[in-house]
Amino acid sequence: MNRIQTLLVVLFCSLGQIIGQTKGTRPNVIIILADDLGYGDVGFNRGGDYPADRGIIPTPNIDKLANSGIICSNAHVAHPFCGPSRAALLTGVMPHRIGAQYNLPNDITSPLGIPTDETFFSKILQDEKYNTAAFGKWHLGFTEGSYQPLDRGFDYFFGFLGGGKNYFESEYEDSFYRRQGTSNPVINEYQDPLQRDRAYVSKEEFEQDEYLTDILTDDAISYVTKNKDKSDPFMMYLAYNAPHTPLQAPADEIAQFKIDNPNFEDLIRNSPYITESTPVNKESDATKKEELIEKFVQARITYATMVTNLDKNVGRLVAELKKDMNVYNNTAIVFLSDNGGYTYSKGAVNYPLYALKGSVYEGGHRVPMFVHWPNKIKSSGSYKYQISSLDLYPTLVDLAGGSIPEGKILDGKSFMDKLISNEELRPNEPLIIMRPQNGFHNASLFSNPWKIVKTGGNGKWKLFDIENDPGETNDQSNSEPNADEIIQGLINKGIEVTKQFKDVKPGWFDHERGDGHPHRALWFATEELPQYDKLFGTEELSTSLSVKKKLKNNKLKVYPNPSAGLYHIDFDADYDKLKVDVISMTGQWIDTIELNKETPLLNMTKLSKGSYILKFDTGKEASVEQIVKL
């Protein structure tokens, strides 16, 4: 061969390595999902410009992995809250498509969960002979046989089915067992005992003061030990609830954190970030101001300890992998958070991003993320292009050599090869974040460098250059010469996608009623949501559901006597007859009862125990209320 031929062969060989180099390679996979972890609270995301007075949380073990892998500095989740974000990660679709745009109710007796006709990626990997395991927080349904991890493609589960948990056994299990068999059993998911596969774990298995993040990691390490030498690879979904609330950390570790980081406390206590924060500024009383500052300081210290504990545990897991370097090198680790950090009272810092968990601004949905895989990622670096948790599904299926079920919609893209070759994954294809609020959606759509944001229902779209202004400080909707065109371009893409699910009703609601989030009421009594048409300004997206009467919740009072099943109704409206529809929590009509203004006593004695929605209608005005029949 002459020199040119040799060069061509070399060139084609290296191209061959780049194109399709990871499909079907079947590495072990570990997804480490942190919960509400702040963008600025991992070392690998902190540049030299990070303001030290916000508190530097050391994360040496996580950083070591990140810095020898590829840091995804522009990674996003599909929704700024836990449940919908996890639903999207495991199903590969935007949560709105499957009615999963709210957190599930935090009730362990709830019959709800992610629709069973959605195939989780774990099921495909399981079918491809992967050993599959889920650890930690599930938050995707309680019902055995339908919604639990073992029903969704995991061979093994150790964790808790709800959306959160107390971190010490003494804080949850005691009250659960103490109240079992009484008239007031524990149904709150935070106090549900830990579960292995389908059964509660005996509390004898660990000490009362053992810390949950440690317990989860112990079990994950033991899983690696048992599975690393098997002929088939393993896929581990390790969903820590740290550093999500409740802010709880071992007292000795908090003390040690203060010793190891002697300036941390003073720096944050005197930081304008805290002392001049909006919540502190809003408080006029000087004593209460001080109390609030102290609350934020203590929250940040406990949160920081939870993060250092998480880091320690990631280090322990990696040490177990490293006992056999072949296993370590052949394991793809994906680390990310399920949504942005919850700042101030919950301790997180999202610097340099604006806003927090729940927001459609970057602080709500841009998350810390990296991919580490020694066998394939030979040179470390940073990936600046947009990547989404939605992309994990097709990526992992590709790695396993599996195929997507026929007819399944996917909102993500297989990323591993593009990540390694540092190519843009979705040019001109925006990611969409939508969060339902009170009868409207907050939303943002972004495709580098532009992002549009609309909040508050009737606001106009703001425009940010997130490539150069990730903190979303400068709204360019009036200054950018092509603003209208850019905004409309993104809106059009949003309409195209939203059209596909505009009539899908939410399967559940986290806030049952109340002044802030009467979502369920809006759906079942007035069908006012989702108002995608108003969001994007087009009739094309109006739902086939009709808008009924406006709610007048402030005019309604229900005085229950739940054990007797009698409810006194005080509806401050002009009426002769008051029609009351009794609706199940899944939106099914059960009964209609008519009341007179003179005897407004609702008899519910015949109904079985449980929660119901009552819709009150005078013919002119309507209101809704949720009741619990004991």
What residues make contact with Ca ion under the rule CB under 5 A?
Answer: 35-36, 82, 338-339
Which stretches of 415-498 are DSSP H helices? 416-421, 483-498
Measure the CA–CA gap between 102 and 482, rounded to whole angstroms. Answer: 35
Between 80 and 352, name the residue whose CB sits nearer to Ca ion.
Answer: 80
The least distance separating Ca ion from the CB of residue 33, rounded to whole angstroms, comes to: 9
Q: Is 544 exposed, middle or buried (CB count within 10 Å of its CB: 0-12, 13-18, 19+)?
A: exposed
The least distance separating Ca ion from the CB of residue 243, rounded to whole angstroms, comes to: 10
Give one DSSP letter per residue of 194-221, joined into a string.
PEETTEEPPGGGS-TT-BHHHHHHHHHH
Between 101 and 339, name the residue whose CB sits nearer to Ca ion.
Answer: 339
Geometric angle at alpha carbon 176, from 171 and 182, rounded to 5°: 140
Between 306 and 463, name the residue whose CB sits nearer to Ca ion.
Answer: 306
> Identity (one letter) of the amino acid at 190?
Y
Measure the CA–CA gap between 128 and 388, rounded to whole angstroms. Answer: 24
Between 126 and 359, name the residue whose CB sits nearer to Ca ion.
Answer: 359
Helices 392-400 and 82-91 pack at an angle, to 10 degrees, of 30
Handedness of CA 63, 68, 69, 74 (dihedral sign): positive
The least distance separating Ca ion from the CB of residue 36, rounded to whole angstroms, comes to: 4
Between 300 and 346, name the residue whose CB sits nearer to Ca ion.
Answer: 346
The least distance separating Ca ion from the CB of residue 358, rounded to whole angstroms, comes to: 10
3-state secondary structure 500-513: HHCCCCCCCCCCCC
The least distance separating Ca ion from the CB of residue 214, rounded to whole angstroms, comes to: 20
For residue 213, give the nearest of 235, 242, 177, 170 by alpha carbon. 242
Coil/strand/helix, residue 275 = helix
Which H helix or E strand runs over 595? Answer: strand 589-596
The least distance separating Ca ion from the CB of residue 357, rounded to whole angstroms, comes to: 6
The least distance separating Ca ion from the CB of residue 609, rounded to whole angstroms, comes to: 31
Between 34 and 297, name the residue whose CB sits nearer to Ca ion.
Answer: 34
The least distance separating Ca ion from the CB of residue 339, rounded to whole angstroms, comes to: 5
The residue with its CB nearest to Ca ion is 82
Neighbours of 163 (CB within 10 A): 23
Cα 6 to Cα 9, 15, 274: the distances in Å are 5, 14, 62
The least distance separating Ca ion from the CB of residue 301, rounded to whole angstroms, comes to: 21
Between 176 and 190, name the residue whose CB sits nearer to Ca ion.
Answer: 190
Between 113 and 600, name the residue whose CB sits nearer to Ca ion.
Answer: 113
Strands 131-137 and 369-372: unpaired
The tokens describing 564, both together, are: 């007797």
Between 36 and 528, name the residue whose CB sits nearer to Ca ion.
Answer: 36
